[in-house]
Amino acid sequence: MAGIRIQDVKKRFGNLMAVNSVTLDIEKGEFFTLLGPSGCGKTTLLRCVAGFLEPEDGHIFFGDRRVEGTPTHTRGVGMVFQNYAVFPHLSVRENVKYGLKARKVSAGEQERRSREALAMVQLAGLENRLPNQLSGGQLQRVAIARALVIEPEVLLMDEPLSNLDAKLRVEMRGEIRQLQKTMGITTIYVTHDQEEALSISDRIAVMDHGNIRQIARPWEIYTQPADPFVAGFIGSTNMVSVEVIECKDNLLVAQCGGVLFGLPLQEGVEPGMRMMLSIRPEIFTVAPPQDSLPDSYWSLNGRIARIEYLGSMVKYEADISDTVKLLITGYNIEPMNLRRAGDAVRLVYPMKRVLTFMEDAR
């Protein structure tokens, strides 16, 4: 096992800068996720680490070993692919043994290790099946066993769950996480699914247009996004572009389309500056009209425009003014408290939970 260091790695396809000087340090045994929209360069970066692509510039280290230039088959990676890539002409057992044979492991050892690996992914008993007799989830388990059985230095997973149905996806990600922790294998995981990334990773790198926007632990990514892109990509949020109009005491007031937003005072912010606010829909509460508020809260008056009932939660869209519309989510709401479209509401939020980004900083 080894950590992975990616240093100033660049990869271009024609005029497109797919990976733009990326530097990453992944610790030994860490579950590291590359997250981003399609075309952000995450798969390209993973394929550079795997050796299917050669970076034009920069270095990749596994521990102290520099691996760029080393062909994939001698690099010591295990890889799991989006579409399983289980060899259709080989049985489950032969698929798992494939990499062991290439390493000239003795027959007895092959048998023992493949049996262990298959037991680990709960496929014991299916050894003699051919891939066309397996379900999608089972195929992905074979692929995982096959990648782990060779005891690679690093495990690379390229959207391994995106071909599975929603329920299985959630189940499998728990299992992958469990396996990775038990084996303590350094893992790079690529996905575009932010929920999956949050649930599975030790750390996440959010990528966009070949650049890394933020590297942090899941809750930091969610609660302290580095920029509006990360804030908007992870979870859902209300992005509001505002102008600061007043700074006094402990309060900063900014407006957008006639709606005033209260925010905690920040150093260096003066009236006239423009900011981007990210207000998560779940920080709002719908409060009775006349209740007095603690100083750290701010309230807005609006009208419910649309309601989307999802069982465990309710999504409202509220019109605050003609141009300002906010998304609000409520959890654990009693049916009697459900609002209807057209209801006037008072929305309350704790000011310190609003994320602010200076517009220039974009």
Partner 1 sequence: MKNTFWNLTALLIFIAVIFFLLIPVTRIVMGSFQTQEGGFWTLQNYKTFVAYNTYWKSLINSIGVSLVASFLTIIVAVPLAFVVSRWNVAGKPYIIALSTIPLMLPSFICAYSWVVLLGRSGIITGLLQSLGLPFKSIYGYGGIIMIFSMQLYPYVFLMTLSGFNSVDESIEEAGRSLGTGPIKTFIKVSMPLVLPSILSGTLLVFMTAVENFGVPMIIGEQRPFLAVQAYVEFTSDISRHPGMCYAISVVMILVTLSSLAAQRYYLRKRNFMQSAKGRPLIKECHGWKRKFATAYCFGVVLTPLIPFFVAVIISFMEMRGPVIHPNFSLENYIYAFKHSYEPIFNSYFLATIATIASVIVGVPAGYILTRRRSAVGDALDIAIMLPFTIAGTVLGIALIVMFNTGILILTGTWMILALSYTIRKMPFIARSSSSILYQLDPSLEEASISLGVSPMKTFFKVTIRLMAAGIVSGAVLTWVTTISELSSTIVLQTPGWSTMTVEMFQGIISGEMGVANAFASILIISAIVPLLLMMRFVKDERASLF
143 lines the binding site for partner 1 (CB under 8 A)? yes
Asked if 231 touches partner 1 (CB under 8 A), the answer is no
Using CB under 8 A, count the residues that bind partner 1.
26
Give 102 or 239: the residue with its C-beta nearer to partner 1.
102
- Structural tokens at position 237: 């949020």
Given a contact cutoff of 8 angstroms between Cβ atoms, the answer to whether 207 and 46 are in contact is no
In the region spanning residues 32 to 71, those forming contacts with partner 1, defined by CB under 8 A, are 50, 52, 71
The C-alpha angle 341, 343, 346, rounded to 5 degrees, equals: 125
Q: Does 92 bind partner 1 (CB under 8 A)?
A: no
**Does residue 281 bind partner 1 (CB under 8 A)?**
no
Q: Cα separations (Å) of 349 from 194, 300, 305?
A: 25, 9, 19
Instruction: Figure out which of the listed residues 45, 123, 147, 230 binds partner 1, where binding follows CB under 8 A.
Output: 147
Please name which of 124, 122, 13, 3 lies closest in space to residue 60, comparing C-alpha atoms: 3
CA distances from 8 to 5, 42, 55, 61 (A): 10, 15, 10, 12
Is 74 a binding residue for partner 1 by CB under 8 A? The answer is yes
Stretch that binds partner 1, among 145-153, 163-171, 253-261, 285-293 (CB under 8 A): 145-153
- Sole binder of partner 1 in the list 8, 13, 56, 73 (CB under 8 A): 73
In angstroms, rounded to a whole number, what is the distance separating the alpha carbons of residues 17 and 112? 46
- Position 88 contacts partner 1 (CB under 8 A): yes
Task: Using the minimum distance from each CB to partner 1, give the nearer residue, 1 or 226.
Answer: 1
Nearest distance from residue 64's CB to partner 1, in Å?
21
Which among 92, 101, 99, 98 has a CA at the least distance from the CA of 121? 92
Interface region with partner 1, contact rule CB under 8 A, candidates 20-28, 141-149, 204-212, 330-338: 141-149
The bridge status of strand 274-279 relative to strand 355-358 is antiparallel
Stated length of the chain: 362
β 31-35/57-62 pair status: unpaired
Segment contacting partner 1 by CB under 8 A, of 7-15, 28-36, 72-80, 336-344: 72-80
CA distance readout (Å), 222 to 99, 128, 265, 315, 361: 39, 45, 22, 19, 19
Pick between residue 82 and residue 299 the one whose CB is nearest to partner 1.
82
Contacts of partner 1 in 99-128 (CB under 8 A)? 99, 102-103
Q: Which is nearer to partner 1, 142 or 273 (CB)?
A: 142
* Chain contacts with partner 1 (rule: CB under 8 A): 50, 52, 71-74, 77-79, 81-83, 85-89, 98-99, 102-103, 143, 146-147, 150, 156
